[in-house]
Structure 1
Amino acid sequence: MAEQDVIDLLVAQHGRIRDLFDEVEQAPVENVGEAFDRLTRMLSVHETAEEEIVHPYARRKLDNGQGVVADRLAEENKAKRLLLDLHKAGVDDPRFWDGLAELRTFVTVHARGEERYEFPRLRANTSTVERRAMAAAVRAAESLAPVRPHPGTESAAMNMLMGTPLALMDRAREMIRKALGKR
């Protein structure tokens, strides 16, 4: 895989997340669940990697990094809670579409906050080598990240402590559901 700047990687993932929201909204009724699962997986691994790699680095490198990151973590917790509520209710719940619209708005505002307040300052205060190393670390973290939302694990320490066991449970649950022919 070619070397990549972590900020470019994350901004591209924000675009992919927007595309996945579109996919859910435009999916035929029988495919909404599968499309929503793809969105959930992407959001979950993306946020976990940011929480483990990017936010701790920003906290250390940026003036008022603690404040910038605290705002992003609060947003991530809220988005995880919304996503978890949607999963618990299911795509057939009459409130699903309103909840999805709320989640989309919240995720969009969150991504805009990162792109406006965190990423430009991170780019200005890090070297190309640092950003490439962070991109590699983000990809590694994503490969081990939970694929379902787990509110309350927004810190790097909680992700390191709970992330791998949660990821294993999530992935085992997915395999069992697939084997049983369930979503």
Structure 2
Amino acid sequence: MSTAMEQDVIDVLRQQHGEIRDLFDLVRTCAPGERREAFERLVRLLAVHETAEEEIVHPAARRTLPGGDGIVADRLEEERSAKELLSELDGMDTGDPQFMPKFDKLRTDVLTHARAEERYEFEKLQAEFSEAERRSLAAAVRAAEAMAPTRPHPGTESATKNMLAGPPMAMMDQVRDMIRNAKKG
């Protein structure tokens, strides 16, 4: 197992895709009383992961890959659609009868998106960037994740929008998270 400093960006993102798949499975299989907590973990990971991709990975792909504009445009449309559904689910009670059908649609959409990223974007990035460049991108992704919002914000699917709006949204999301946690305790 490589350390965080040794990982390249493709390793980091694929590992997160695995964590996302695991959290989708956990939400689907856990007891209804435990579903909210598992879902909140999924929401946070998706929000942070997508923000970092939008700020770091997609711009690099757009600049470097042959056909990069089209590859990135397709991924951003998928991300926007998923953020809208995720935002709707985040406002729902996990016991609502409509929650699981919408959640299953989100799961299908997100996992399809992850496969498309891995096939059309990540493989090409791996071929175009040196190992040192991929490690540098991984460090940039980690830095972006540290400052990313923890909730979905549809309409911020560009690096510029994320960098301008991300820090204030991240602070608001963190306050919201603290309030939610205080209500539980």
Sort the TM-score into its range (normalised by shorter chain): over 0.9
3-state SS of the aligned residue for 1:18?
helix
| Structure 2 partner of 1:126 | 129
Equivalent runs, 1:97-136 vs 2, <5 Å: 97-136=100-139
Equivalent runs, 1:32-51 vs 2, <5 Å: 32-51=35-54
Displacement of 1:181 in angstroms is: 2.3
Q: Which runs of 5+ in 2 are unaligned?
A: none
- For the residues of structure 1 that align with 2:69 and 2:14, how far apart are their CA atoms? 21
Partner amino acid, structure 1, of 2:52: A
2:52, 2:141 within 8 Å by CA — same for their partners in 1? yes
Q: Deviation per CA, 1:94-126: give whole Å up to 9, x if none.
A: 110001100000001100100110111111111
The counterpart of 1:73, out of the listed 70, 76, 80, is 76
Question: Does 2:101 align with 1:94?
Answer: no
Q: Aligned-residue CA RMSD in angstroms?
A: 1.0
Identity of aligned residues (%): 59
Q: Aligned residue pairs: how many?
A: 182
Partner amino acid, structure 2, of 1:79: A
Displacement of 1:90 in angstroms is: 2.3
3-state SS of the aligned residue for 1:67?
helix
| Structure 2 partner of 1:144 | 147
Partner amino acid, structure 2, of 1:14: H
- For the residues of structure 2 that align with 1:121 and 1:2, how far apart are their CA atoms? 22
3-state SS of the aligned residue for 1:73?
helix
Partner amino acid, structure 2, of 1:117: Y
Partner amino acid, structure 1, of 2:181: K
Displacement of 1:89 in angstroms is: 2.2
| Structure 2 partner of 1:56 | 59
3-state SS of the aligned residue for 2:184?
coil
User: Which portions of structure 1, spanning 4 or more consecutive aligned residues, are displaced by more than 2 angstroms?
Assistant: none
